[in-house]
Amino acid sequence: MKNLKLKAFRKIGILSTLFFILIMSNFALNDTNVVFNEVDRNVNPRIYIIESSSYQSNSSSDVTNVSGYLHQAYSNSTITKITEINSSIEVPAPNATNYLSSYVNISATNIVVSNHSETIESSTSAGRNLQNLYAASFVSQTECYLSNTSVSIEKDLIQQDDGTLSVYLFNSTWTGSASEPVIGSSQNIGTITVDIDTETWYNISFGDSVFLNNSETENNTWFIGLQKNTGGFNFVPYWRYESDASNGDNSYSYIYTGSLTSLAVDFATKISLSLNKSQVKPSEISLDINNTAFHDISDSNSGFWNKTGDAG
């Protein structure tokens, strides 16, 4: 059985009615068993045949040279939760293998979304001195707010004065092989006070002050940057990281010292994204099936999809 894949923004609870209508292409019936459901086949040479839900309840008769259409439908009213960016769910496609599908329509209703959290890296084995500016990438699949970020910071074992870090947001550009931060796009979006000597996760919340407009960046990619702000000579903070060789490459990482240098590490970072509302249209969460987008239904948190992508 073929499957259709439906993807969406993380943690989307979809109270969905998925309704398939497959209008099968014209076919000639030559001594073939076909479902008629008590239709008088001697009256109308063009017969419309309806089967729904299970695809299994059939009665058969033998006919010759009758032109017709075959309809099959699948209806499923459930709450479906998609918990990963770019994840998918599978629903069955009609299994009448003797015919070609010419039209498919799917509806999704009452689409509800919660905040999305992503861990870029959580394990650490070393750190980078934040006397310099460092940046780590993250991806937002749709326009939304950066609601908060957490980073793992450790002070030098000897020089342990308190101090602050500046938090920056950069949009990105694509070099042809990697995303890198656009230094000229820097936004100072907050400050972190480092006042614990040992390695600690520090969280900073932004509310609705940091909007991620994906039209201003490339590949939906953004960068969080950190650098020492205040504190004397004895404040030496380190942004903890794990090497790509140890735990895979989960983001693009850079140091900026007048020019950018790529690093084979992932900085210990977590980010949270929010739409600042719970009910959304399909376009607001980039909802699609097999890379073809859903169409919004006006004034509702619902939409529909069809095989050709036509709006109607």
The domains located in the chain, with CATH, are 3-114+279-306 (no CATH), 117-274 (2.60.120)
DSSP classification of residue 202: E
The residues, any chain, with a CB within 8 Å of residue 61's CB and separated by 6 or more, are 33, 34, 36, 41
Whether the CB-CB separation of 266 and 73 falls below 8 Å is answered with no
- 98, 33, 24, 27: which is closest to 66 by C-alpha? 27
To the question of pTM greater than 0.85 for the whole model, the response is no
Highest mean pLDDT among 52-56, 137-141, 303-307: 137-141
pLDDT at 38 over 60: no
Per-residue pLDDT, 51: 39
* Lowest-confidence pick of 26-30, 86-90, 244-248: 26-30
As a whole-number percent, the residues of the chain with pLDDT over 90 amount to: 45
- Tell me the pLDDT tens digit for each residue of 218-260: 999 999 999 999 988 899 999 999 999 988 899 999 999 999 9
Is residue 108 within a helix (H) or strand (E), and if so which, with residue range?
strand 105-108
DSSP helix/strand/coil, 183: helix
β-pairing, 144-160 vs 269-274, is antiparallel
Identify the band that residue 112 occupies on the pLDDT scale cut at 50, 70 and 90. confident
How far apart (Å, rounded) are the C-alpha atoms in residues 2 and 90?
Answer: 9
Could you tell me if 14 and 111 are in contact, meaning their C-beta atoms sit under 8 angstroms apart?
yes
Better pLDDT: 162 or 29:
162
What does the pLDDT read at residue 57?
45
Contact at 8 Å (CB) between 57 and 113?
Answer: no
